[in-house]
Amino acid sequence: MAVIFSPCFGAVVKVAGCNTEPFFSLNMEGLNDGIALTAPLTGFALEMNGNYQFLHTVNDFIYVYSFGNRMGELTMSGIGFVRTCTDRAFTSTPDLNTYAARLGRVFDFYRAQKLSSNGRLSVSIGGDKNATFYAFLTGMRIEMQDAATMVGQWSMRFSVVPKKNSK
């Protein structure tokens, strides 16, 4: 796991840490042009819903109609940097360069993988084949709240295709 901190004003550097397995990972297959998302991922939310209708009648009867499942939504969020530290002491090792975590790379990922450019992606949570689903990248947001730190936040929205229940 790497540690990211700000060694000089307005810039950041990544320092390699202990080599432990990450607690969480999202794996994507079917990427256009081989452009992968390399910015630090800080969170995700997966929401899945069914398509139901409840009908309340007299005598306290409630009828439930099930029309299957609705499309779900996956939101991934993270941080990105405007630039890296220009001090040679921090950028002399290629592994320490945070170019891949720049906000511009997040935007490049969105342009290459969005629905109108790519179609569907296969996403698996933690490499588990049972937790694999198909998703369409449908939106993105990048924001810079404090220009002094040059650290921004990003989020991407995916529409998730519900799996059919196997009986």
pLDDT digits (tens, 9 = 90+) for 127-166: 677 778 888 999 999 998 777 777 888 999 999 988 776 5
Looking at residue 112, what is its pLDDT? Answer: 87
Tell me the mean pLDDT in the region 65-80.
90
pLDDT range class, residue 94, cuts 50, 70, 90? very low
**CATH class for domain 2-161?**
mainly beta
According to DSSP, residue 102 is labeled B
CB 53, CB 82: distance < 8 Å: no
For the whole model, what pTM was predicted?
A: 0.73
**Amino acid making up residue 2:** A
Query: Which pair of structure tokens corresponds to residue 127?
Result: 């490499």
Backbone angle region of 91, left / alpha / beta, with phi > 0 → left and psi within -120 to 50 → alpha:
alpha
H or E element that contains 88:
helix 88-91
CB 11, CB 84: distance < 8 Å: yes
What residue ranges do the domains of the chain occupy? 2-161
Rounded to whole angstroms, the Cα distance separating 80 from 37 reads 11
Looking at residue 23, what is its pLDDT? Answer: 52
Burial of 107 (0-12, 13-18, 19+ CB in 10 A): middle
